[in-house]
Amino acid sequence: MSRRVVITGVGAICALGNDAGTIWRGMREGRSAIAPLRGFEKEDMRVKVAAQVSDYDARAHFEPRKLVLLDRVSQFAVIAAREAVKQSGIDFMQGDMRQRTACVVGTGTGGEETNDEGSRRLYGEGNPRLHPLSIVRRMMSAPASQVSIEFGITGPSFVVSSACSSANHAFAQAFSLVRSGAADAAIAGGTEACIVLGVLRAWEAMRVLADDTCRPFCRQRRGLVLGEGAGMVVLEDFDHARARGAEILAEFAGAGMSADAGDIVMPSDLGASRAMSAALRDAQLDPDDIDYINAHGTATPANDPTETRAIHMALGEHAKQVAISSTKSVHGHALGAAGALEIVAAIGALRDGVIPPTANFLDPDPECDLDYVPNVAREMPVNAVLSNAFAFGGLNAVVALKRAQ
């Protein structure tokens, strides 16, 4: 018999702030953290804006002997996990909890800071000697390893990488482990620290970046804006959480996944809708049960109308009644960490009965004909939420949350 899975802790860091509470307030206020790109003033960049973590000093979070092991992507993961674990109050030293806890982290690109620095030394300076810890800093699995080490977790621990769906795929895998009984708890989420010269140049070449700001579902949208950060949650078996008196933030009700098996770049409304429908089935929810969708909402010409059609396909007539917003309008697109930041919005909407707005909205696009909660938050009862993530390569993952009962 499958078990109920609940969320007992959440942590995050991104351009909106260095903790989940501050980030949620920024989302509610529609306060955009997108700003002129910093740190590349000597370069002739076509990238003009980004959502970068500010007021951040790694030395305030890590001792020097630990910091030398951590790429920025792992730093963010550990910081978010610390906050989630603290809020949860879970004690991994109690009984066999270390063995009964999983750790699943999503990341799209891994240790890009280390990779970029190594490339600069090797190709730019002609220096054949790289930092001796380059491999353990840059390897894709480093964030999961560092989080498991931080808390002494010895259960299943691994990284999921599926571009912009990485975090939601990580949630789905962690959810499955807890629901099946393979684990009693899991730390799960996503992390990304991709704002380095090499990655920026690659995104420039794709010509999908906005030069002003992020305007999802808006007729004036000009493309996505890159962001960075991490979000982590503690997932827990409901009976285990209740037995220790934990506060339950939300119920993790289900997850749905699909592959377009089509174009490597162009999204598919059918593939996206199948992931949404699968999440509804897994959560035993009807389309009419959904009050809010945190959309993938990248503000690219292709994604937004495609996602709109997918919502119509998955929810039918109810699509016209559901509230939809894209918080990428305030924290940017953090790629593999996107779903991990957006679960903060999903949890906040369920707990506070507030839909965060789609910020920077001007005029509606005729192809985007749903209720995108433009510019101003909306107070309303929220009992069930979907959070969408659709990635390059046609890899789709949608999670379903319910209000804690």
**Helices and strands counted in the chain (H then E):** 13, 14
Task: Specify the length of the chain in residues.
Answer: 405
Q: What is the DSSP letter of 140?
A: T
Of 169, 240, 296, 331, which residue is the catalytic one? 296
Alpha-carbon radius of gyration of the chain: 20
203-212 in b/e form (b: 16+ CB < 10 A) is beeeebbbee
Helix axes 166-180, 338-352, angle to 10 degrees: 60
Q: What is the DSSP letter of 2?
A: P
**Is 333 considered catalytic here?**
yes
Which three-class secondary structure state does DSSP give residue 153? Answer: coil
Binning the chain into helix, strand and coil, the percentages to the nearest 5 are: 35, 25, 40
Q: What is the DSSP letter of 121?
A: I
CB atoms within 10 A of CB 123: 9
Of 164, 194, 214, 368, which residue is the catalytic one? 164
* CA proximity to 212, closest of 97, 50, 9, 365: 50
Q: 136 with 142: CB under 8 angstroms?
A: yes
The strand pair at 185-192 and 229-237 is best described as antiparallel
**Is 103 considered catalytic here?**
no
Which three-class secondary structure state does DSSP give residue 385? Answer: strand
Of 169, 240, 331, 333, which residue is the catalytic one? 333
The strand pair at 185-192 and 101-106 is best described as parallel
Q: 74 with 143: CB under 8 angstroms?
A: yes
**Is 331 considered catalytic here?**
no
What token pair was written down for 57? Answer: 């000093």
138-175 in b/e form (b: 16+ CB < 10 A) is bbbebbbbbbbebbebbbbbebbbbbbbbbbbbbbbbb
Output phi, psi for 45, to 5 deg: -100, 135
Which three-class secondary structure state does DSSP give residue 312? Answer: helix
- In whole angstroms, what is the distance from residue 328 CA to residue 82 CA? 24
Which residues have a catalytic role annotated? 164, 296, 333
